[in-house]
Chains A and B, each alone.
Chain A
Amino acid sequence: MRSAAAGEASSRPTPARTFLARSAARSLVGGLAATAAWLGVAALTAFWPDMPESDWAYTGDFAIACGALAFAVALAGFAGVRFAGLHRVHRLSPWLIALALFFAAWEAVTAKFGLLPLPFFPPPQAILEVVIDDRALLGTGVFASFRLLATGYFLGAAVGFVTGVAIGWSRLAGYWIHPVLRFIGPLPATAWLPLAFFVFPSSFSASIFLIALATGFPVTVLTWSGVAGVNSAYYDIARTLGASQRFLVLKVAVPAAMPHVFVGLFMGLGNSFAVLVVAEMLGVKAGLGWYLQWAQGWAAYANMYAALLIMAFLCSGLITALFRLRDRLLSWQKGLVRW
């Protein structure tokens, strides 16, 4: 009797279980719809012949890539039935379907119908071709850009941070640095470009200077305003508890200013991207900016799109990384903006 009752109880759907089942079903349906869409793109690419007289070498490879994506989405959908952790995947499926439609349309108007003028609007397989065939040069470009950006950004952020704390803390530092900051800070870093390229021994060091300048200004101003805006009661508390000047700066002013510092770091990162690309286009003989310029010179528009795409991934990835760092360091704050 007892076991029968227990069996009955366990077969009765609890709200939690119904919710899980519904969520699993949604994940599966969404996953399968996205799979179908991407299989459609693969079939369209593979079985509809390209325009006559076109010689896209990677049409088959693009179809295979779409098929592989469809397979991966299907796998994730089925895995979602078993693993509740993958249920979130179904939130992606509308986007996956929309992207599939976009790629199908792109494929149709370029490689299949030839409606858009070449070489300005290559089909997706042409971009795939660039990414695969020119991967060595692109890889070098990514590495060069990243090295330049990271060096300049860290230098600028560090100097900006220290300067900002100094202005915010010391009246003497404020007296001397503030006018310089006001006069030079608003000048776009790129305006220094012609000067920097002949003052510095190499275009690499000149670019580091420019990126550091572009990063340093917002970091300085925001750090300064953060330190200046610290609730004076925080200092009173620490002073009555026996804190030294050093403690007041490092353990009170700096942590209290951190939310502002991060705003400065975000603005600086955005500025540094702009300066990086301009510097690479105008002087540095390496990196993605240089690659863009070079591809445009050869009317290699597929290469340009590929470089743009990689650049977008790189910049977005770096912003995301900075957001992650902020969320970790400022987890004590309420109501953080999610990126």
Chain B
Amino acid sequence: MVAATATDYPDRGSTLTIRDVSHRFDLEGQPLPVLDRISLQVGRGEFVALLGPSGCGKSTLLRLVAGLDFPSAGSLLTEGKAIEGPDPSRVVVFQDPTLYPWRTVWSNVALGLEARGLIRTHRERVEDALRLVGLTGFANAYPHQLSGGMAQRAALARALVNDPKLLILDEPLGQLDSLTRITMQSELVSLWQRAGFTALLVTHDLEEALFLAGRVIVLSQRPAHIKAEIVNTRPYPRHRGDPHLAELRHEVFAHLGLAAAW
């Protein structure tokens, strides 16, 4: 496990405890259960992937962790304290970059600092974040001038500028073409290693989960419960052709009832 965590900055990330969390939506008076007693412990600086079929409630779980919604039952804690609402130490990167179209890339990235009144004293952090994601030359561009990959990089910079302790990634690479996606996966790993945050990634892409995460949590169909937990101790940087990853993939497929497909 040691190799799989960001050991350079062991204190930067925060822990996350999900304890017996269930959640249901109210759909025209009918309760629709989406999460079924999920329990998960994430350590400091760990990279955990939540893998599950579309519509299984993965994104709902992330919204609960972000503090945007509250669970019907159970509790969520970071650093032992209950999550009571959104907090800039837990930042979400959504599948859609959702940059504000009326702001330049620079001011989009500056959003969090501006919202907290830190922009005057911490301007240089915006430039640092832009450099980190390789968008230095595009500070004055508007979102509609960016490609999908660049927009997602800007969204990543907008999250990283806040120096999050927990980065919540909701299929952040889901809309990118496969080549950009592969590049961004490697960049994500090196960002995580450098910054040392705890990362919680939702994805339905098994390759991505195994390439990025130290632990893959396999979720069932809705209402989601944890079906399996696969620990991936391969050191970073990982290689896509690694036969050990192929073995793990086979294992996960078996959990998903898709063993015949392999």
Q: Is B114 interfacial (CB-CB < 8 Å)?
A: yes
Of the candidates A231, A233, A240, the one whose C-beta lies within 8 Å of that of B66 is: A240
The residues in A between 237 and 254 inclusive whose CB is less than 8 angstroms from any CB of B are: 237-244, 247, 251-252
Question: A242 near B100 (CB under 8 angstroms)?
Answer: no
The residues in B between 111 and 126 inclusive whose CB is less than 8 angstroms from any CB of A are: 111-112, 114-116
Question: A256 near B66 (CB under 8 angstroms)?
Answer: no
Of the candidates B88, B92, B100, B144, the one whose C-beta lies within 8 Å of that of A255 is: B100
Most buried by B among A242, A244, A258: A242
Query: Chain A: interface residue count, which band?
Result: 20 to 34
Q: Is B225 interfacial (CB-CB < 8 Å)?
A: no
Q: Is A333 interfacial (CB-CB < 8 Å)?
A: yes
With A233-B96, A236-B68 as contacts: A256 and B102 at CB distance below 8 Å: yes
Question: B98 near A241 (CB under 8 angstroms)?
Answer: no
- Determine the chain B residues whose CB is within 8 A of the CB of A241 once the complex forms: 86, 88, 91, 111-112, 115-116, 158, 162
Give bound CA distance, A333 to B143, whole Å: 10
With A237-B94, A255-B102, A256-B100 as contacts: A332 and B144 at CB distance below 8 Å: yes
Give bound CA distance, A255 to B114, whole Å: 15
Give bound CA distance, A242 to B101, whole Å: 20
Scoring A residues 324 to 336 as 1 if CB is less than 8 Å from chain B, else 0, what string do you get? 0000001011100
Question: A237 near B111 (CB under 8 angstroms)?
Answer: yes
Scoring A residues 295 to 318 as 1 if CB is less than 8 Å from chain B, else 0, what string do you get? 000000000000000000000000
Give bound CA distance, A251 to B91, whole Å: 19
Q: Is A234 interfacial (CB-CB < 8 Å)?
A: yes
- Determine the chain B residues whose CB is within 8 A of the CB of A252 once the complex forms: 100
- Determine the chain A residues whose CB is within 8 A of the CB of B92 once the complex forms: 236-237, 240
Total of A-B residue pairs, C-beta within 8 Å:
66
With A240-B91, A242-B88, A244-B115 as contacts: A333 and B101 at CB distance below 8 Å: yes
Question: A233 near B98 (CB under 8 angstroms)?
Answer: yes
Q: Is B253 interfacial (CB-CB < 8 Å)?
A: no
Q: Which residue of B lies closest to A248 (CB)?
A: B115
- Determine the chain A residues whose CB is within 8 A of the CB of B138 once the complex forms: none
Of the candidates A234, A255, A332, the one whose C-beta lies within 8 Å of that of B142 is: A332
Of the candidates B68, B86, B143, B158, the one whose C-beta lies within 8 Å of that of A242 is: B86
Give bound CA distance, A128 to B98, whole Å: 58
Most buried by A among B94, B111, B116: B111
Question: A332 near B102 (CB under 8 angstroms)?
Answer: yes
Question: B111 near A240 (CB under 8 angstroms)?
Answer: no
Q: Is B79 interfacial (CB-CB < 8 Å)?
A: no
Task: Tell me the minimal C-beta distance from A125 to chain B in angstroms.
Answer: 52
Q: Is B90 interfacial (CB-CB < 8 Å)?
A: yes
Task: Tell me the minimal C-beta distance from A142 to chain B in angstroms.
Answer: 36
Give bound CA distance, A231 to B94, whole Å: 13
Q: Is B87 interfacial (CB-CB < 8 Å)?
A: yes
Give bound CA distance, A171 to B211, whole Å: 47
- Determine the chain B residues whose CB is within 8 A of the CB of A256 once the complex forms: 100, 102
The residues in B between 161 and 179 inclusive whose CB is less than 8 angstroms from any CB of A are: 162
List chain A positions with a Cβ less than 8 A from chain B: 231, 233-234, 236-244, 247, 251-252, 255-256, 258, 330, 332-334
Known contacts A237-B98, A240-B88, A334-B144; 4 additional CB pairs below 8 A are A233-B96, A240-B91, A242-B112, A242-B162
